[in-house]
Amino acid sequence: MILYVVDQWSKYVIRTNPDLHRLTLIDGWLSFNFTKNPGMALGITWADTWIISLVAIVATFAIIYYISRTMKEANTGYLVCMGLIIGGALGNITDRIFMARIMDYGSWLDGHVVDFIHFTLEIGSYRVFPYIFNVADMGISIAIFSLLIFGKWILPHDKPKEKSSSTSASATDSSEESTAPSPASSSTSATASAASASRPADSAGNEDTELPVSESGQNDRKTNDEV
């Protein structure tokens, strides 16, 4: 909203003050040069003004919809850049919708965007930046360059969260598998317990059968000796 207000205020001041239509601020560098742009950025005109206005309006609403879908993952830098883009787009759309009616040269959507900032720097006979722009264009350009340079840190990302969730899920599955007893170990332990349970019974049985045999053997020896 701040960019939008500053853009509309600056256009109003330049448009209503003829002394500012042609004004040198820094000789050889910067000046005010009041113009009306019927086309898109950089003066590109590929269709009638009302068609370009409709395309700009649709594009602005598409950007607003995209921002609404990415608000959960948005950070401060991303919101600032998108705010500059939306504020600048709305500033230029306001000119396209109303300026023709305000200046009485056309109907709705026939408005021309007010441009006035002009870099006049020349190297030899070459103009460094020959295009005239406004405050809204400055905000949009700053946001786009910031997203291109710092997009790795500014743009919202969903993939790391998905990877972390899948990693935790796999770790949980592996821990459950490690805690569950395997069939082989359970069968081995069952066999061992059965064997340990049968061993005392065998030993007890052997002791019971050996005692009578030993006593009878001693009796037989005594009778043989008496005879």
Catalytic residues: 104, 137
- Is 156 within 8 Å of 74 (Cβ atoms)? yes
Question: Cα–chain-centroid distance for residue 191?
Answer: 58
Torsion of CA 10, 34, 112, 139, to 10 degrees: -50
Tell me phi and psi for residue 163, to 5 degrees.
-65, -45
C-beta atoms surrounding 95 within 10 Å: 24
- Is 190 within 8 Å of 183 (Cβ atoms)? no
Closest CA to 81 of 97, 66, 93: 66
